[in-house]
Structure 1
Amino acid sequence: MDLDAYQAVHEPAWRRLDELAGARRRTGAESDELVRLYQATATDLSAIRSAAPDPEMITRLSQLVARGRAAIAGTHEPAWRDVTRFVVVTAPAALYRLRWWTVAVMVAFVVTGVVAGVWVATNPDALAAMGTPAERDQYVEQAFAEYYDPGAGFAATVWTHNAFLTAICIGTGITGIGPLYFLYSNAVAVGNIGGMMAAHDALDVFLSLILPHGMLELTAVFVAGAAGLKVFWAWVAPGPRTRARALAEEARALFTAALALVGVLAVSGLVEGFVTGSTLLWWVKIAIGAAALAAFWVYTIVLGRRAVRSGETGDLEADRGGYVLATAG
């Protein structure tokens, strides 16, 4: 198929369908024309997907067909049902499919952080690279604890900062290198700080201030890294799917996970903003953080497993993703 020639012939009909689908009111003749153009464009979409699967053209026509279907049939469900479906079905399915990737990233991160921490704590030269003795004392005794200033402003700052970092990790997933660099640099940074605190006999302070929010916050980082790497792997080893389709499906599921992480990081930010730096007993803080982490995994495993068993992947529904030929009636 000559895609350019095909587009030149059918472009007027596509534009007319777009015009009619966007019209607030239509005459009887225009409604009949809308149905005819919708069916014709759905056929065009099927033909292009079969003979010349150009991703940009398929995306455009899929959206156009969806608009035409909505104009003909109307909205099937209120918007709040879409939100409920996302929270209860789509998001946990995406997170559940990433669970083993998440665990693998977590293990690698923790091992890297512990190695970096032990190196700084036991190697005088590595410890010296963290700053002068006076600078290290000031950080250990004051700056580290003072960073966790309780309040809504701090919680909001933490939330947006962490969301930005995880977005970078996910957004660079296709490269494979981006998530690895992000995870490695953060693991080393956390390990170095922990090692310096341990060298100054303040490891208990470090853990009591990191664990309450860090258990959930770092899990969100692990999920982001896992999502990015899974997209990269879909490009390397697409399996029975075409490489383009594997990338499209995994990328859409990836952004489902990314949206879910917005909520996860919001909870983590609240814990960091109101619990970590509070006057609560250290074990109460850690218990709150552990409860938040447990709630995340219960949500992911219980709802996610149920959704995946019913066929959900975290991707768009087949017709919205452009993989099912829409029909009228």
Structure 2
Amino acid sequence: MELDVFAEKHRPDWDRLEHLVRRRRKLSGPEVDELVELYQKVSTHLSVVRSSGEDPALVGWLSGLVARARAAITGAHTPAWRDFTRFFTHTFPAVVYRLRWWWIGATAGSLAFATALAVWVINDPQVMASIAAPEQIRLLVEHEFANYYVENPGASFAAQVWTNNAWVAAQAIVFGAFLGLPVIYVLALNSANLGLSAGIMIAHGKGDVFFGLILPHGLLELTAVFVAAGVGLKLGWTIIAPGHRPRLRALGEEARPAIAVALGLILVLFISGLIEGLVTGWVHTTWLRIGIGVVAEVLFLAYIFTLGRKAYLEGETGDIEERPAVLPVSG
């Protein structure tokens, strides 16, 4: 073999591989594919050159190049910031959009139940009397309801409500694995608290105070809880009616995106917690408080129905891309 001719012929491939290895942190998808292909090709070239035994210096240089290419391939990973960005621009909004009818249904049902309770309390004094003693209700209406939002420092209160709401949302999703029944209980409990408080405040002429303090943070906060509940209900229904898929496979395919929703809602509830801790009790202009809440809610819905819809139509499912295609079986 004419080693000089061989080297001259394949030198462009070697130089290209070296260039790609130097730029390994900035490679595009096609360039990564090219890197792998050239690594395999140059590995073959190294074997040929080594077998000739004619040029130890060239063997050493090619060995180093192949080793660096192997390290670039085996150590290659998508930068964390790209994963983070893709999660919030594709994965999370796409899953929430795909399950929109579940959480829209949970929203409608919960608000209908809360409204019915509020109307019942307003129109039936006996119901209010059974809730608490008159003195306790007077304290709630005149002091406790409004003071709840300012009795603690804003930052610590925001952290407190954030962790509490994140726990409620996580419960709503996890409880879906129990056929969705506990999810309905969580929704009913939260709706009952909302409806009874609204009924008591409105019956005592404090409806403006109630809505002025609930709407700023409650729009986004309740939407997040309803999204979690919708995901949990879908998870429970998947166990009941998996369709053409094996039940465990169907559960896995829905549970993985559900985890993505739980992670995304942590940020959504962090924002609502900031509003509740720093705006609800501390911004004294009612229209400004409510306006901040409305803007946050509109932005979230626009985010889901624009970015989420786009990602969903592009085929984003929220599932783990690197999951094994099949499960190992015996025999």
TM-score range, shorter chain: 0.7 to 0.9
Residue 93 of structure 1 is matched in structure 2 by 94
Letter in 2 for 1:263: L
Residues 117-145 of structure 1: per-residue CA shift (max 9 Å, x gap):
11111111110022111111111000000
- 2:126 is matched with 125
Look up the match of 1:310.
314
**Does the residue aligned with 2:325 lie in a helix, a strand or coil?**
coil
Cα shift at 1:292: 0.3
Check conservation: 2:158, 2:274, Cα contact below 8 A.
yes
> Is 1:209 the counterpart of 2:209 in the alignment?
no
CA apart distance, 1:324: 6.4
The answer to whether the aligner puts 1:321 opposite 2:323 as a matched pair is: yes
Partner of 2:91, secondary structure, is helix
For residues 294 and 315 of structure 1, what CA distance do their matches in structure 2 show?
27
Matched with 1:141 is 142
What is the root-mean-square deviation of aligned Cα atoms in Å?
1.8
Alignment length (residue pairs): 255
Match of 2:172 among 169, 180, 193: 169
Does 1:232 pair with 2:232? no
Q: Residues of 2 paired with 1:323 and 1:305: CA distance?
A: 26
Taking the aligned partners of 2:302 and 2:76, their CA distance within structure 1 comes to 33
How far is 1:240 from its partner? 2.4
**CA drift at 1:73:** 3.0
* Paired position in structure 2 for 1:16: none
Equivalent position amino acid for 1:323 in 2: A
Deviation at 1:179, TM superposition (A): 0.4
Q: CA deviation at 1:71?
A: 10
Q: Which runs of 5+ in 1 are unaligned?
A: 1-69
Q: Which has the larger radius of gyration?
A: 2
Does structure 1 conserve the Cα–Cα contact (< 8 Å) formed by 2:94 and 2:317? yes
Paired with 1:227 and 1:307, the residues of 2 have a C-alpha distance of 18
Question: Given the two structures, how large is their TM-score scaled by the length of structure 1?
Answer: 0.75
Cα deviation digits, residues 254-294 of structure 1 (max 9, x gap): 01001110011000001101111013311111111010001
Residues 128/275 of structure 1: CA separation in 2 closer, same or farther (3 Å cut): same
Q: What is the one-letter code of the residue matched to 1:141?
A: E
Report SS of the residue matched to 1:172: helix
- The equivalent position to 2:297 in structure 1, one of 293, 299, 305, is 293
CA shift for structure 1 position 89: 0.9
**1:128-183: CA deviation from partner (whole Å, max 9, x where unpaired):** 02211111111100000000026111101110011111111111111111100000
Q: Does 1:275 align with 2:276?
A: no
- TM-aligned CA deviation for residue 97 of structure 1: 1.0
Give unpaired runs (5+ residues) of structure 2.
Answer: 1-70
Q: Distance in 1 between matches of 2:188 and 2:243?
A: 28
Q: Is the 8 A contact 2:283 2:289 kept in 1?
A: no
Cα distance in 2 for residues equivalent to 1:277 and 1:242: 51
Corresponding residue of 1:37: none
The separation in 2 between residues aligned to 1:248 and 1:74, in whole angstroms, is: 29
TM-score (norm: length of structure 2): 0.74
* 2:185 partner letter: Y
Distance of 2:249 and 2:302 partners within structure 1? 31
Name the CA distance, whole Å, in 1 between partners of 2:297 and 2:114: 20
Q: Partners in 2 of 1:218 and 1:96 — Cα distance?
A: 17
Question: Percent sequence identity over matched residues?
Answer: 48
